[in-house]
Structure formats: C-alpha cells, structure tokens
Structure 1
Amino acid sequence: MTEAYEMLLQPLLSAQDIDGLPFGSVYGTVPPGTTSKRHTHHDGEAFIVLAGEAWVGLGAEERKLSRGDVCYLTPFDTHWIRNDGTEAFDIVSIYWEHAPTVAAALAERAPRTTLPSRTLVFCPPATPNGGLHLGHLSGPYVRADMLTRALRSMGREALLITGTDDHQSHVAVAARCSGTSPREISRIRAQQILDTLTAAGVELSAATVPHRDAAHTQRVNDEVARLAARQEVAESDVVTAYCAACDVSLFQGWSAGGCRVCAAEADGEICEACGIPNETRQLDQPYCTICRGPASERIERSLTIDVEALAARIRAYLDVVEMSPDIRALSNTLTAGPQGLATYRLTRHAEWGVAVSGRAGEVVDAWVDLALTYLHAARQHGGGVPDTRKMLFLGLDNTYFYVVVLPAVAILLGQEALLPDALVTNQFLHLGNAKFSTSRGHAVWAEEALTGNDADTIRAALLRRAPEGRVTSIPDHAARAQMSDVLVDAVAAWREHLVSLAASVDFTIPGTGAWTVAHREFYRYLNSIAEQLDGVLLPASFSARSYVRLLDSLLARIAEFAEAESVLRDDSAQAEEARTSEALQFLATKALAALLWPVMPQTGEELWAWLGLDGTPMRETHWSFIPSGTRCGKQLTRSGS
C-alpha cells in the first residue's frame, strides 16, 4: 500500500488492467485517530465500507458509516474521512468519469452562486514609516478594492477594511533616523496613506488607525491580560539580540542579517525572501540597523506563547481556509517542520508600542497588536454573522504572521470564528530589477504617480502586472513617466465608436429587430464572458491579472463584432438586422461598464451614466437590453482628460 490523500491506498482494477472497464477502483484504509485529506474530484465516486467505523464528510455534511454501508460522492464536492475510533476504517472506492454529470455539476456551481451575500475584505494595515509606493498599490490594496467593487456590482454587501500599523518597529526606526518621534511620524504618514488610497480609487468602508482610537490601548491591554491567563502563555527569560551602543533590543526593523535558510538579507523575525521566521540572533552576522554595529545578546524577561501547544488547532484551521497555491505551500512548510512551531514573543522590550500594564519597559509585540486589531475589526463589523465571509489580502512574505500568529491569538481568546475564511496573497512587484522598498528608498511613490496620471490608468497598469503567484516588475522609466495600458487605449477606441453609433440613431437606444446567427452567438458570448470573469473572483482562484486580460478579450470581441456589422447600416434590406446589431452594441457597452468598473471605476461609471442608466454599474446573471427609447449622452470623453 502507498500513502495518498493522507490515508493508505492500494490500486485494484481500472481500464489499464481490463480494456474497456468503465470504472477504476482502489482499496483504502484510514488508520485510527487520523483524518484523510480534504479534497475533490471531477469523478463520481462510491465508498463501500468493509470494516471499522468513521465519519465521512461531503460538503457541509458528515455521516458516521460502518461495515456494509455505501455512499456516493458527487463531483466537485469536498470530501474526507475522519476516524476517531480505535480500529482501521477500510473501504473500497469505485470511481468513474461521466462528462454530462461533470458538466451538470459545473453548471450547479456557477461562480456567482458560490459567493456569499456578505463579505468583509481585509488588507494588512500599512506601516506609516513612509508613504505608499506603486508596489503597495499593486499588491493588496487595488486588488482588494477590485474584488469589493465586483461583489457590490452583483448586489452583495462588501466592506473593505484596512488602516495603518502604527506600532510597527519600522516606525520607531524611521523616527530615530530622522530625529523625530514615532507618534509624529505615524500621525503624518497615516493621513498621507489614507489620502493616497482615496486618490487611487480605493474605497474604504472602515480604517483602523490606532493613534486615532482612544480605546485601542486599553482594549489591547485587556486582551493581553486574557492571553496571559492562559496556560499556553508563560513568563520566560529570553536570550535576545541587543545593541549596547544604541541601547535597543534588536528585533524586527531594528535588526538585519543573513537568512540561514535562503541566504538573503533579512530583517529580524522574518525573511521577506523565503517567508521563514527567525530570531535576530539566529541570523548570519546580525547587526543593528541604526548604527550598523554587530549584535550582542542579553536576557529579557517577557511573556511568550507556546505556539506548538496550539499546533493541532492551527493546522485544523488551515485545512479548511481557502488559499492560493503559493500560500498553501508556504503554510505547509511553516507548520510541518520536525521541530514544531517556535515559541512567539507576546511582549517586547521597547519604548514604542502599546505599553503593557504592570510590566515596566515592555510593549505588546506589533504583530500581536495587529492580530488583536484585526479581531476587533472583524467583531465590530459582524464577522461572526452567518453567511459572512472574511477574506484577507496579504503579502506572501507576511504569511507566518497570518497563518500562525493570528490563529494562535484567536484560538487563545476563543475567537476562531473571526479568523479569515480565505487568504489571497501577492508576491513582490519589482521596480526594474529590485523590489519596491520604503525603508531603502527604492520606490515610485503612489502619491507622485497619481499626480501625473489618472487613477483608472494606474489601476489598469498595476492590476495587469499584479504579482500573483510570482514576482513581477515594472520598468523604472515606465513607472516614472506618463503611464499607459492597452486596456485604457481599447476603451478609448470604443468610446470613439460609441459616439458615432449614438449619432447614427439620434442618441436614442433602439430595441432589437431581426436576429442573425452572429447576433445570437455574440449575445451568448456576453453572458459567458461575465461568468468567466466571475470565476477569477473566487478566493482560491482570484486573479486580477486574468480579470484584466479577459477584459482585453471582451473589448477585442466587441470591436470585431461592431466592425463586421457596420455594413448593415447601408443595406436597407437588412434594416431590422441592423437594429438588433445596434441594440447589441449598446448592451455590450452596458456589460463593459459593469465588468470594467472594478478595475477602472471612474470610466465604468461614465459609460454607465452615458447609457442613461442610474446608480453605479451592476452586473447581471443574464444581460437585459437597455429599454428602447432610452436617451444616451451626446459627449463621451476619456476619463481624466
């Protein structure tokens, strides 16, 4: 037998053994006290239970099965076996492929039907040690706004929540280097960050800004007191990297050195290159980022979390949360090591941060502070309400904090229901050959770029280059010059055609007349492309890059249709067909406005209003024609001109 799907399997018969056999089969056993991998197939599958007793899960349902029972597992439904007993659970699985059943299962799972009625979309708060650069925008912020707008255009409630991470060590480091206070830097930069997001068309529902929240310090201390009361939290003497010259504990932004896993330059506590956590003293040649002097060591009395004691519950959470492949792979690496999960510092010895009541010189670790801020925001905005999905956009480099530290804190506080249901990652957008970096000054600041370009153009250009599942780059000259994008150019060309089309019908949208096969198939296409776009909005398949490229193909198809149909205008014998063609082109513009709005909100709204439609652009399951006689606008200028 071999191990697969986290159980033991032995192949039986299949078409490879007997020519024409319409099924395959395996013998399987789930050892006592184990659970098989949660997974799906496109095949139909039946379990015949030979021995033992276990829970078999399918979708949201679990049933206890025993010897002699048979169950059928439907295509594309998640299933698993949980054996809580003391005996092995033995089955024979018979599986087969039936294309019509597969097609029917896909039809029942249209992307839009799987999206919840309410979604809280979170982005990690930005560190206010500087402004936002284009790398920040291309990562979580514009992508999260794109998703939020798309959900709203479907009539669903979607809230976008982010803010600033005021107590990060990088703020204190920036203050030390500039000769000012961390509080003053965070105050100035926080407002700059929020203003930049607004200028980029990122529409926030709420902003978590600790220095503006009078209750933040007390609330965090109350939660820390609850954490400290747990048996998994202890007071410990911790060997800590230290700089005597600067009199600072060397952790996170205060320190750097070589990562002993991938050899890249890394900050203390995390390596951005490989995502593996560390302690500063474990780095190769650790040093202080203020004076560049080598690190020494000292003993610090601090509160620590025994994360390994929570490992089983953390892994159980990660088994069910939706993730993109890169974060799933890194999460498996982080939680499956033979040495277990390392102890994590709940408190740090520093001057900047939320001071811990009764513990002089100690502040709450910035990432624990961030976890508590997230949990409060999720609770405040109804994260525990049924049919509310919580999605978190994050950089892959911060995976450890969101798949280990955040779940650990939530578990200790009994707030697991507030954890994200889906994690959507980004990697780095490089400027030229190196990543954008606030601390190193290698950046094109979003504020400056937005001054010389309209927000829709920047959004389209950055979403096209979104660093999803890979590192992407933007040439230095392209980022610093007047930005452009082929999607923006294609929309501008369609605008020019629309003005001509509207003039030919006296700016009154016609109803349909006679239909041709080309008309029918174009209408079918408009509905099918909408479903394709919906499909790349699902958390586990989310892709802003794919969304933008599908919009490219939509505009190309619309333009090809219009060009091919232009001859109808001059043929009186096809006047009825010409009317249908014109109505379809206005309908295509309606669909374009709604589908474009998440990427280019100003342009989408302009097209929608020009068509005589009210409110913000709305997606439809099946596009309905604009009522005949509706008056459209006479002028349609390019966004930002």
Structure 2
Amino acid sequence: MRSEHPSTGAAQPGRSDTPDFVTFGSHEKEVPPVTAAAWITATPPTPNGELHVGHLAGPYVAADVLRRFLRADGEPCRLTSGLDDHDSVVELCALTQGRKTEEVADGYGEAITVDWRRAGVEFDQITRPRAEPGHLAAVQGLFRELHGEGVIVARSRLLPYCAPCDRPLHGAYVAGGCPSCGAPAHGNLCRSCARPNDCGDLLDPRCVLCGTPAGLRQVRRLYLPLEQFRRELTEYWGRIVLPPRLAVLCDRLAADGLPEVAVSHPGEWGVPVPVEGFADQRIDPRFELAAGRLHQQQGRGAGPVEFFGFDRAYVHLALLPAVLSARGAALPAGFQVNEHYRLDGRRFSTGARHAVWALDALTEAGSDTLRRHVLSGRPEGRPADFDPAALDATRDHLQASWNSWLAALLAALREECGGITPEEAPGGAGWEQLRERLERAAGELRCAYGPGGFAPRRVVALLDEVVRLAEDFHAVNAHEKDRPSGAERYRASLAAELAIAGALTAWAHPVMPEGAERLAGALGLRPGGPVTAAALTPPAPGTRLAPPSGPVFGY
C-alpha cells in the first residue's frame, strides 16, 4: 500500500489510554453535559501531500466519531477544520517539485478533502484560506490591531541564512537540534517535545534545500510575547482538565518563562504583514490559524473541543488561547490529543513521503475497515505502529465475526420465517441475562463515546464484545430448531438476535457508518439513532428483511 501519488495530488478528555479488555459496569449511564462540545475542531493538515493513514488515526476519524455520537443524541454539533495552505512546507514542496506553490496547495488540498469524504469524515466547514470570504481581511485586521495596541512588537533576532541559496531560513527550510530537548527539529516547532523555537536558536542549523550549514544574520521581525498573557494562560491551564502529557508541557512552558513567538517571517508565500516596514514579510501560519479561529468563533458563547496531534500542542495550548484572550473570546473547552503513528519504526511523514496513503488503504480495505482499525489502535498516550498485515487482519475479523454472524442470522430467518421478522417477542435460552449485559454495554458505550470519557479504543472493544455475545447466543439457541416443541422458542431467539442487530445500526454507526447503514437498510430501520439501550429492539413483526448481496461491514 505504500506509494507516492502523483502531484495532482471534551470537555474532559482525561483518559488517554484504554485497555483492550471489556468490563460492563452499571446500567445505562448519563453522558456529561455536552453544550461545550457543540463545536468540534480538528487541526488543519498542510497540503504538501495527500492524506495518510496517520492523519486518519490521529484527529480526523476520532473527531468524526464524536460528531456522529452527539448528532445521534440530538445535540446540535458542528465539526470544522481547514487547510494550512501557508505553512512553509507547502512552498518547500513546490520548490523541490519545480511547481507553483498555489498549484501544490490547491492540488493536494483537493485530494485531502476528497479522501476525508472517502473515509466518512464529514465536516460542516472546511476553511480554505485563500478562498474563504473574509479570511484575509480578518487575519490582517487582527494583526494590525494587536500591533497597534502593542501586543505584537518588533524584535531584532538572529535568523539562519543560507548563502548558497541566498535565502533566510525559517520553518521547514531550516533543520537542526531542538534547543529544548536536543531532538532533530525544524524551525519554529519541535515535533518531539512540542516546544517552540526561534529558528536562530536551533543547534547546528542547516539549510534543508542544499544541506549547507547555515550562518546567522540579524533580522527584524514581529513577535507576540506570551509572557504578557501569563495570568490568563496559567489560570486557564489550572481550570481545564488536561491529559498529563499536556499538563507537563504547560508546567514546563510556565517554569521556563513563556516565549516570545515570531509571528512574521521574510518570504513571499502567505498573508502579507499589514504593518509599515515589514512589507517583505508574511504572517506566520500559526497566528493565521488563531486569527481564523477567532473569525469563526464570532457569535459563539463557548469554545470548541479540539482534536490535534501532540506535536501541535503548544499552538493549541498557548498561542491560540493567548490570541483569543487578547480579544476576550471563549477559550477551547477541551482537548483530545494523539501521539504519532509509525511505519517501519519511523513516524509517518508527508514531506519525506514515508507513509501509507489514505487513498491506497481506503481502496484496499474500505472506510469501515480502516476506521475501525485506526480507532482500535489509536495512538493515545503513546505512539502506535501501523502494520499492513494488521489491517488485513481487521478486515478478516469483521468477515469472520460480524459478517458471519449476520449472514447466519439472516439465513436462519429466511429458512424459518421466510425472510420476515417473526411475531415472537425476543427470547430464548439465556436472553434475560444477555439483555441485561447488553443494556450495561449501552451505558459503557455512551461513556466511551461521550466527550467526558471519550475513548474510541474502548468503543471498538465493547462493540466486538457485543458481537461475540451474539455469536454465542446464536450457537446455543440454534439447537431449538431440531426440537419438535422448539419452533416458537427458536423464532423468539431469532427475534432477540434481530434486536442486537438493530442496536448495532445505532451503536456501531459512529465507528462504521457505511456498514451500520447497510445493516439498517437490511432490517428496514433508520440508521444512526442514539446510543442507548432503547436501540435494542428488533424490526416490527412482519417486516420484510432485505439482506445485502455482499458483506455488511467492510469488504
């Protein structure tokens, strides 16, 4: 599946790691209030390449799962993202490919949005910075205002410079050692420790284009000193529930002195700086993200729940809240953070073309299989490894367990009832005990789907356990058909299995929407209902069933 495609190219997120075993607790539990989760954001990807499986395993599928769960519950909910068109990696990609930067951003941007749709990730709004009405004016207007108020200030600092390329180096153009942790890093941000850098403080900086060791030159740029927001930021960090990984980052930022962050850099790609004396500079894309968020947030009383990778944590925890605080806007209501995905022991990288592309995986496995796979091994609290053989095993599991049980059930209904829902109420040997377990499972699913205890790995484990219980129930009660007096009990057991199948049209829909919708079509039900014990209901007696011609989940 690894390939290089052509250039056409919550309120309380606390739980960061979930065991794979299943424990059913008390009966159906209440999900915490979700008014703060009515807006969900997923960090914008950079269009310097196509979407890869690591992107899906990180913020995007998980954010869509939460959106689907809340929508099914009747909660008004918006999922938004965008494209980070003006990141320096986009311009660098264009230079190395000998193409126009606009062509790269537009081509890969379109490919990314198409692959989101193929993966079943449904955004209510995708911001395209160069096409979004009012975006440029909003970014420049905020920048101009904050500079006029003295929030943004000019500083003369050392910036790497490549003499052979005759180019000042910032962002993706410069590489070296992180001044905070020593790990390999590019300019502005370290992907290992998530700490910002000033480019000029990188250890042994070198030009990414030609590999030449960089010199240092004094350059006057514009900065946003975060120390002026110390009170707002530290109070916010103390008020909101943070996963331990994020809390450690905040503690270290506060202890070391909040940095001054460069919000402009020399260049030609990006939003022009609207300040006299800096006409040859462009606004940093991280400030652009914050300004765009403020523009989106107008008229909203609460901030969003944000999904992002740990390497972007400082932007979401410090820079974005600082800009929002400068305008008295609501701060993010919660965070869902993921670690990185690895392939052959190295982290996925779009720029290095070290990835399994989403299009390849979706073509080979389908959206349901891929969504379930990346959720079951989502990199929560620690990195995760992608293994193509494991994706094949996920597809085989859906076929051998989920689809095999459903095929056996529908075949039994065709043989015993002529393909019609039986008149008998759900029953059979062990049904009362099983129903109680399933009702408890519905409560556990609500907790694991909900914003207060969001844990998609546990959701997948719970759904698998539901299907295993259904398989066992089917095997135990299948013997009733061989008893002269067992016909009624057998039909009641089939009605009970139909109730479980009906529940899966709701319970599995946030994870595997295509399969849940196919199953709902086969049963004559409406897909995507609330994840509650009430979903544990068979189709009405006499309903003509319409089994699909192929697998229900995956393919």
What's the TM-score, normalizing by structure 1?
A: 0.77
Number of the residue aligned with 1:146: 65
Query: Whose strand proportion is higher, 1 or 2?
Result: 1
Number of the residue aligned with 2:316: 402
Question: Judging changes above 3 Å, is the alpha-carbon distance between structure 1 residues 482 and 520 closer, same or farther for their aligned structure 2 residues?
Answer: closer
Contact 2:27/2:443 (<8 A) preserved: no
Number of the residue aligned with 1:596: 508
Letter of the 1:498 counterpart: L
Number of the residue aligned with 2:259: 342
Q: Does 1:439 align with 2:356?
A: no
- Paired-residue identity, %: 30
Number of the residue aligned with 1:282: 201
Question: Judging changes above 3 Å, is the alpha-carbon distance between structure 1 residues 634 and 549 closer, same or farther for their aligned structure 2 residues?
Answer: closer
> Of 122, 127, 135, which residue of structure 1 is paired with 2:54?
135
Question: Judging changes above 3 Å, is the alpha-carbon distance between structure 1 residues 634 and 395 closer, same or farther for their aligned structure 2 residues?
Answer: closer
Letter of the 2:374 counterpart: L
Q: Does 1:632 align with 2:513?
A: no
Q: Does 1:499 align with 2:410?
A: yes
Determine the C-alpha separation between the residues in 1 that align with 2:428 and 2:53.
47
How many Å apart are 1:426 and its aligned residue?
0.7
How many Å apart are 1:204 and its aligned residue?
1.4
Determine the C-alpha separation between the residues in 1 that align with 2:34 and 2:549.
34
Aligned residues: 527
Unaligned 5+ segments in structure 1 are: 1-38, 40-105
Question: Judging changes above 3 Å, is the alpha-carbon distance between structure 1 residues 366 and 488 closer, same or farther for their aligned structure 2 residues?
Answer: farther
How many Å apart are 1:535 and its aligned residue?
1.3
Number of the residue aligned with 1:365: 284
Question: Judging changes above 3 Å, is the alpha-carbon distance between structure 1 residues 162 and 577 closer, same or farther for their aligned structure 2 residues?
Answer: same
**1:230-245 map, 5 Å:** 230-245=149-164
Contact 2:369/2:394 (<8 A) preserved: yes
Number of the residue aligned with 1:393: 307
Determine the C-alpha separation between the residues in 1 that align with 2:84 and 2:169.
19
CA RMSD of aligned residues (A): 2.5
Contact 1:111/1:534 (<8 A) preserved: yes
Number of the residue aligned with 2:110: 191
Question: Judging changes above 3 Å, is the alpha-carbon distance between structure 1 residues 569 and 618 closer, same or farther for their aligned structure 2 residues?
Answer: farther
SS at match of 1:466: coil
Letter of the 1:290 counterpart: L
Question: Judging changes above 3 Å, is the alpha-carbon distance between structure 1 residues 111 and 286 closer, same or farther for their aligned structure 2 residues?
Answer: farther
How many Å apart are 1:510 and its aligned residue?
2.7
SS at match of 2:197: coil
Determine the C-alpha separation between the residues in 2 that align with 1:321 and 1:249.
39
Letter of the 1:317 counterpart: Y
**1:86-105 map, 5 Å:** none
> Of 512, 523, 538, which residue of structure 2 is paired with 1:611?
523
Higher mean Cα deviation, 490-499 or 161-170? 490-499
Determine the C-alpha separation between the residues in 1 that align with 2:272 and 2:203.
31
SS at match of 2:35: coil
Number of the residue aligned with 1:522: 434
SS at match of 2:440: helix
Letter of the 1:158 counterpart: C
Determine the C-alpha separation between the residues in 2 that align with 1:637 and 1:389.
43
Higher mean Cα deviation, 189-198 or 278-287? 278-287
Letter of the 2:546 counterpart: G
Number of the residue aligned with 2:326: 412
How many Å apart are 1:478 and its aligned residue?
5.5
Determine the C-alpha separation between the residues in 2 that align with 1:631 and 1:266.
61
Determine the C-alpha separation between the residues in 2 that align with 1:133 and 1:445.
4
How many Å apart are 1:311 and its aligned residue?
1.1
Letter of the 2:545 counterpart: C
How many Å apart are 1:609 and its aligned residue?
1.4
Letter of the 2:328 counterpart: G
Number of the residue aligned with 2:191: 272
> Of 401, 405, 412, which residue of structure 2 is paired with 1:490?
401
Determine the C-alpha separation between the residues in 2 that align with 1:514 and 1:164.
50
**1:226-265 map, 5 Å:** 226-265=145-184
SS at match of 2:525: coil
How many Å apart are 1:624 and its aligned residue?
5.1
Letter of the 1:395 counterpart: G
Unaligned 5+ segments in structure 2 are: 1-11, 13-24
Q: Does 1:421 align with 2:421?
A: no
How many Å apart are 1:131 and its aligned residue?
0.8
Letter of the 1:182 counterpart: T
Q: Which of the pair has more CA radius of gyration?
A: 1
Determine the C-alpha separation between the residues in 2 that align with 1:440 and 1:118.
35
How many Å apart are 1:620 and its aligned residue?
3.0
1:589-633 per-residue CA deviation (whole Å, 9 max, x = no partner) reads 011121111111110001111111135444335335232222221
Determine the C-alpha separation between the residues in 1 that align with 2:516 and 2:314.
38
How many Å apart are 1:319 and its aligned residue?
2.4
**Of the two structures, which has the highest relative contact order with CA contacts closer than 8 Å and spacing of 6 or more?**
2
Number of the residue aligned with 2:19: none
Number of the residue aligned with 2:218: 299
Question: Judging changes above 3 Å, is the alpha-carbon distance between structure 1 residues 607 and 343 closer, same or farther for their aligned structure 2 residues?
Answer: same
How many Å apart are 1:477 and its aligned residue?
5.8
Letter of the 2:91 counterpart: A
Contact 1:383/1:390 (<8 A) preserved: no
Determine the C-alpha separation between the residues in 2 that align with 1:514 and 1:539.
33
Question: Judging changes above 3 Å, is the alpha-carbon distance between structure 1 residues 325 and 507 closer, same or farther for their aligned structure 2 residues?
Answer: farther
SS at match of 1:238: strand
Contact 2:31/2:452 (<8 A) preserved: no
Q: Does 1:586 align with 2:498?
A: yes
Determine the C-alpha separation between the residues in 2 that align with 1:593 and 1:514.
17
Question: Judging changes above 3 Å, is the alpha-carbon distance between structure 1 residues 635 and 305 closer, same or farther for their aligned structure 2 residues?
Answer: closer
